[in-house]
Amino acid sequence: MREIIFVTGNPHKVKEATDIMSPLGIKIEQNDCGYPELQEDTLEAIAGFGARWASNKLNCEVMVDDSGIFIDSLSGFPGPYSAYVARTIGNERILKLLEGETNRSASLKCAIGYCHPGEEPVVFSGKVEGKIAEYIRGKLGFGYDPIFEVGGSTFGEMADEEKNRLSHRYRALAEFARWLKEPIKKIENE
């Protein structure tokens, strides 16, 4: 089983990644060494920088995850600043910002950065479209899950298995897993 170090302080992300990647033969190990986060407008730039920095620091292959919620009526806010906004104002204040708003469309996006020491990072993206619920619903998941609704349910109301089949993180990790398998196929076919 291949092992990849996931550099994050978020155990919820590690659990999701483990649930998604372990059936594919990839073991995820957490390292909470952190990395400097660029102040950028795209998750991809942040994830790529973080992966390169962490792989060089730890001297091994690593992955990092930068995710965010992009709310249409707020011009994509909080976007790459989602973790900060979650810590400082939280879901209740996000709902307050949207009081009376008819356009509640939003998307969750995830960028997985992957890098070997001394190499350029590769970034894989995933996105799921939905909307911001009228109120907090569900006690499952984490972060924006209780206010992000897809198909009539919030991620906070979905069991892990259901959420993991739909989520932005699943989509990014699926792209990453396909890419990881490609070099193996090429070598086997030679």
* pLDDT attached to residue 88: 95
* pLDDT attached to residue 41: 86
| pTM of this prediction exceeds 0.75 | yes
* pLDDT attached to residue 185: 45
* pLDDT attached to residue 24: 82
User: Any idea what the CATH number is for the domain that residue 166 is in?
Assistant: 3.90.950.10
Q: What is the pLDDT of residues 1-16, one digit of tens each?
A: 788 999 999 898 999 8
Q: Is 160 a catalytic residue?
A: no
Domain count, the chain: 1
* pLDDT attached to residue 77: 95
**Residues of the chain falling short of pLDDT 50:** 184-190
* pLDDT attached to residue 141: 84
* pLDDT attached to residue 145: 94
* pLDDT attached to residue 16: 87
Helix (H) or strand (E) holding 15: helix 11-21
Question: Exposed (0-12), middle (13-18) or buried (19+): which is 175, by Cβ within 10 Å?
Answer: middle
Is the sign of the CA dihedral 97, 8, 138, 27 positive or negative? positive
From the list 66, 72, 145, 160, the catalytic residue is: 66
Using only C-alpha atoms, the chain has a radius of gyration, in whole angstroms, of 17
* pLDDT attached to residue 164: 85
Q: Residue 178: how many CB atoms within 10 A of its CB?
A: 11
Q: Which of 95, 106, 43, 42 is closest to 73 using CA atoms?
A: 106
3-state secondary structure 62-110: EEEEEEEEEEHHHCCCEHHHHHHHHHHCHHHHHHHHCCCCCCCEEEEEE
Range of the domain at 77: 2-189
Q: What is the pLDDT of residues 69-88, one digit of tens each?
A: 999 999 999 999 998 999 99
CA 97/CA 65 separation, integer angstroms: 27
